[in-house]
A and B are shown apart, each in its own frame.
Chain A
Amino acid sequence: MTERSLTFTLNGQPREAKVDPRVHLGDFLRHSLGLTGTHIGCEHGVCGACTVIVDGSPVRSCLMLAVQIDDCTVETVESLGKPGDLSPLQQAFAANHGLQCGFCTPGMLMTLEAFLRTTPAPTEEDVRIAISGNICRCTGYQGIVQATLDTASTKANRT
């Protein structure tokens, strides 16, 4: 299989890479670039664990080929806070026990990160629908929903 060259911006940094066109974006991020924060849960576009942000929109990275990010901007969970310096949404996840095993978490975070940029003051119903394409088997979702609402209201109070 002929590899193709691509250039893109990943978490704020310009990058170049070569990739076999059959590789989907999730596998490319994980296994070619070593960014293992993005997780692969179903590979048929339903579970949402592999969600990353491409050109500002949340997408399922198992349903995009890596070659398709040529000239695009990609954000993964690694672009959010670091241990010891968590982003407000990450802090709210911890405070509300919005994660247990952590496997769906990066996909939840990236979905909600993108969602909150366009919907800064969501209702509970809005949040539940926003993550209706992300499966969590551990939490029952409530902590995730509350974390999102808390993040939005904290931000609203600050500004």
Chain B
Amino acid sequence: MSGRFFGAAVTRVEDARLLTGTGHYVDDIELPGMLHAAFVRASFAHGRIRSIDKRDALAMPGVVAIYTMDDFADIAQGPMPPMAPHPLLKTPITYHPLSDTEVRHVGEAIAIVLADSRANAEDAAAAVILDVEYLPTVSDVALAHEANSPTAHSQHASNIAATMKAGFGDCARIFAKADHVLTEQFDIHRGGCHAMECRGVVANIDLLTDALTISTSSQSPYMVRRHLAAYLDRDENGIRVMTPDVGGGFGPKANVYAEEFAVALSTIKIRRPVKWIEDRQEHFVATTQQRGQIWSIDVAFDNNGRMRAIRGHCIHDNGAYAPYGLILPATAIASFPGPYALEALDLTVDVVLTNLVPTSPVRGACRPNVAFLLERLADRIARHLGMDRQDVRQRSFVKAEQMPYTTGLKARDGSPISYDSGDYTGALNLVLDKIAAKDFEARRKESKQRGKLRGLGIASCVEDTGIGPFEGASIRVTPAGKVIVATGASSQGQGHRTAFAQIAADALGVELEDVTVETADTAKFPLGISTIASRIAVTAGSSVQLAAHKVRAKAITFASHQLEVDEHDLELEGGAVRVKGIADMKIKLSEIARALAGSTGVPLPGNMEPDLAATAYFNSNALTFAYGANACEVEVDPETGDVRVVRYVVVHDCGKLINPLIVDGQIRGGVVHGIGNALFERMIYDEQGQPLTTTYGDYFLPMASEMPPIEIHHMETPSPRNPIGVKGAGEGGTIPAAACVISAVEDALGPNGPFIPVHPISPQQVVQWLKATR
């Protein structure tokens, strides 16, 4: 699949608006009579609310109403529906739109204040008085996992919400006979998300029909509609949800949030538009966070470094609720065995509740954790055997000639998981070549002369992308000859409008500027799932291709009638259907669209179906597996412990590239996110569940001044599992990055340095490690 636009690094159609301040984000919406919401949030991690006194607050300037859950009794009550029910979760563990009585983490919403301005609403929120019975708190996941721990939910007997098991092969036999067995503990820290646009919702109600219109900064507008309809016991038809421009998502915006429901309920109650814009302080305590996990791993390997089997136990920090079911811990299991051809695997994941903000997928979900485990283990084995790190990998990887490779794990429907294509060894060799690994020792020496310790890190990964069930698209050619593509896939900056326009323009023989792409408005396209898990290029991209080909076929059929030419002799070019080789025998798409729009009393040619339009869904029934190999170099200042990533090279295979400019941007942003995980981002809580790093002065996001340039090389192995040959690319930068950086730091600290099974690491730790080495 390639064409004039597919595969070309065309600049994005989104950019002109976004560069000129004419983007349209949720906080840009102003409606007549709109009220501004602020939430009364818990300042404590666990407690039971005895009473709420809102009298003083109600008397404050500009305040119109203050609601608690009880105030919505005539509309709806009870916990929110689970987004992803799972048989292991016997009762869903979801929020109420506003906490009913028991509050389970700092930041949980208790009441909503509506006022004429956000500032006035915040003043009043601060004046609402809570009478609280404090309950025992658990903020450390390892302690929460213990049998005698206080429970995050007072009615639970244990914090273990579910125990997930998966595996294949005969671990007992392999471990009994293996040449070597090592056991390691890993501690992977939770972090925040930090899209630069926080969340936000504007809800409005039609006073005649009661229909709700909701604009939300979300990755899952259709899920918001579905679950809100269920909660309100309304038909979906009465709820329109749309996403305007969204300022970054990275996972957490895929959840359906309590605030979205509370704002909708408030609008229904007060019958006025209501806007709530999450501020950064709220983002730190109320938006879901990243992947904290503790792993205990046994690995069996043979004398020549071949990794044979893994036994692993994971304590997964799910926070106080499971709004997204078990999706996040499930991605940990799904990420095994990575690029390694294991003979046996035995995994147990205990999903543990704590009195902290819930975790849910953030860029890579738990895939970066598993890449970290596997890659750290490969380095560990190499060190144990005194081998090169790449040799362990090459002996352990799935080979290109084994593709498609059945891993041994099963998908949710019980079908075997198989990697569709790829050359993991080739990718690793290429990245080592590109970073000039063979000359590394000279560079190490040069750094040493400047007083710096240089290290080389490597890490590979395999990423399941394009998860089902589907996305869809409808394409319509208007009588003006313009092509309108509508899809349920929401966008958060990935350039979907450009990529989909590229696909449609090629299929229909029009220019890019003739195509308009509308995303994620439930009034414009009936169904959508979510923009998550690197799935949109595969699912929605393929559906655009399928729909465009239906439209194309229809245009050709019409032209065949009109021109009395065989369909095979027709092609689409220059906005028209024309006879191959005869440039002026053609009918413009605009004429076909006008004809198929119909005129009174005139039958359509060939009794064709009206409208030059088509809708198609692509059912993604089998995952496609992107992969990559990364290498980087760090310099460590042995005196301060400072770690600087000085070079970073990515080899990446996501199948066919729709737009290399966009793919490279996804990878670069993802790598920097992973460097943040490795070196900077630490969300610290005290024993009482109080967050201690709630400003950008304390929570360190990666900045331009510390980030390296990132060099990217593509291998393009088309996926056989979709019509456009693509694999997902949104998370492949992040997944191996933390593993790669930590591998380099460990290499820099030298053969007497420690094995590093944690991240983020701190300069302080580096200094301690170096002291211990001396």
| A contact residues vs B (CB 8 Å cutoff) | 22-23, 30-31, 34-44, 46-47, 49, 76-78, 80-84, 86, 90, 93-95, 97, 99-106, 109, 124, 127-129, 131-145
Query: Is the C-beta of B274 less than 8 angstroms from some C-beta in chain A?
Result: no
Question: In the complex, A35→B14 CA distance in Å?
Answer: 19
Which residue of the partner chain, among B119, B280, B672, B695, contacts A141 with CB atoms under 8 Å? B672
Least CB separation from B247: chain A residue? A103
Q: Is the CB of B15 within 8 A of A81?
A: no
User: Within 8 Å CB of B557, what residues of A?
Assistant: none
A/B interface sample: 16 pairs, CB < 8 A: A30-B27, A37-B20, A39-B196, A44-B280, A44-B697, A97-B12, A102-B14, A102-B23, A104-B247, A136-B196, A137-B673, A138-B493, A140-B707, A140-B733, A141-B704, A142-B668
User: Within 8 Å CB of A137, what residues of B?
Assistant: 194-196, 248, 250, 669, 673, 701
Most A CB contacts (10 A, CB to CB) among B16, B662, B701 go to B16
Query: Is the C-beta of B246 less than 8 angstroms from some C-beta in chain A?
Result: yes
Least CB separation from B250: chain A residue? A137
A31 CB to closest chain B CB (Å) equals: 8
User: Within 8 Å CB of B493, what residues of A?
Assistant: 99-103, 138
Most A CB contacts (10 A, CB to CB) among B19, B28, B198 go to B19
| Interface flags, B667-678, vs A, CB<8A=1, else 0 | 011111100000
B11 CB to closest chain A CB (Å) equals: 5
Tell me the residues in window 416-439 of chain B with beta carbons closer than 8 Å to chain A beta carbons.
none
User: Within 8 Å CB of B279, what residues of A?
Assistant: 43
Q: Is the CB of A101 within 8 A of B247?
A: yes
Question: In the complex, A46→B194 CA distance in Å?
Answer: 13
A81 CB to closest chain B CB (Å) equals: 6
User: Within 8 Å CB of B198, what residues of A?
Assistant: 41
A132 with B19, Cβ < 8 A, contacts A41-B280, A94-B12 known:
no
Question: In the complex, A97→B666 CA distance in Å?
Answer: 10
A83 with B22, Cβ < 8 A, contacts A44-B696, A104-B196, A135-B196 known:
yes
User: Within 8 Å CB of A43, what residues of B?
Assistant: 279-280
Q: Is the CB of B19 within 8 A of A138?
A: no
Q: Is the CB of B668 within 8 A of A139?
A: yes
Q: Is the CB of A83 within 8 A of B704?
A: no
Q: Is the CB of B16 within 8 A of A84?
A: yes
Q: Which 5 A-B pairs have the closest CB atoms?
A: A37-B21, A101-B493, A103-B247, A102-B18, A140-B668
Q: Is the CB of A90 within 8 A of B705?
A: no
Query: Is the C-beta of B664 less than 8 angstroms from some C-beta in chain A?
Result: yes
User: Within 8 Å CB of B669, what residues of A?
Assistant: 100, 136-140
Which residue of the partner chain, among B25, B197, B703, contacts A132 with CB atoms under 8 Å? B703
| Interface flags, B368-395, vs A, CB<8A=1, else 0 | 0000000000000000000000000000
Which residue of the partner chain, among A83, A124, A135, contacts B701 with CB atoms under 8 Å? A135
B652 CB to closest chain A CB (Å) equals: 14
B126 CB to closest chain A CB (Å) equals: 14
B200 CB to closest chain A CB (Å) equals: 11
Q: Is the CB of B16 within 8 A of A77?
A: no
Q: Is the CB of A93 within 8 A of B695?
A: no
Question: In the complex, A38→B709 CA distance in Å?
Answer: 28
A42 CB to closest chain B CB (Å) equals: 4
Query: Is the C-beta of B128 less than 8 angstroms from some C-beta in chain A?
Result: no
User: Within 8 Å CB of B407, what residues of A?
Assistant: none
A37 with B22, Cβ < 8 A, contacts A100-B665, A140-B669 known:
yes
User: Within 8 Å CB of B670, what residues of A?
Assistant: 140
Which residue of the partner chain, among A38, A80, A101, A143, contacts B197 with CB atoms under 8 Å? A101
Question: In the complex, A16→B14 CA distance in Å?
Answer: 33
Most B CB contacts (10 A, CB to CB) among A41, A94, A138, A145 go to A138
A3 CB to closest chain B CB (Å) equals: 13
Which residue of the partner chain, among A95, A101, A129, A145, contacts B492 with CB atoms under 8 Å? A101
Beyond the given A103-B197, A140-B669, could you list 18 further A-B residue pairs with CB under 8 A, ordered by the A residue number?
Answer: A36-B25, A42-B695, A44-B695, A47-B696, A77-B19, A78-B21, A80-B20, A82-B20, A86-B19, A94-B19, A100-B665, A101-B249, A102-B18, A106-B21, A131-B703, A131-B704, A134-B703, A141-B672
Q: Is the CB of A22 within 8 A of B119?
A: yes
Q: Is the CB of B15 within 8 A of A94?
A: yes
Least CB separation from A105: chain B residue? B18
Query: Is the C-beta of B495 less than 8 angstroms from some C-beta in chain A?
Result: yes
Q: Is the CB of B695 within 8 A of A97?
A: no
Question: In the complex, A42→B125 CA distance in Å?
Answer: 20
B660 CB to closest chain A CB (Å) equals: 10
B532 CB to closest chain A CB (Å) equals: 16
Question: In the complex, A12→B710 CA distance in Å?
Answer: 39
Q: Is the CB of A40 within 8 A of B707?
A: no
Q: Is the CB of B195 within 8 A of A90?
A: no
Question: In the complex, A31→B705 CA distance in Å?
Answer: 32
Q: Is the CB of A78 within 8 A of B11?
A: no
A78 with B20, Cβ < 8 A, contacts A101-B196, A141-B672 known:
yes
A142 with B11, Cβ < 8 A, contacts A99-B18, A101-B493, A105-B18 known:
no
Query: Is the C-beta of B494 less than 8 angstroms from some C-beta in chain A?
Result: yes
Q: Is the CB of B11 within 8 A of A135?
A: no
Tell me the residues in window 1-44 of chain B with beta carbons closer than 8 Å to chain A beta carbons.
11-12, 14-25, 27-28, 30
Least CB separation from B676: chain A residue? A137
A135 with B19, Cβ < 8 A, contacts A94-B12, A103-B197, A103-B247 known:
no
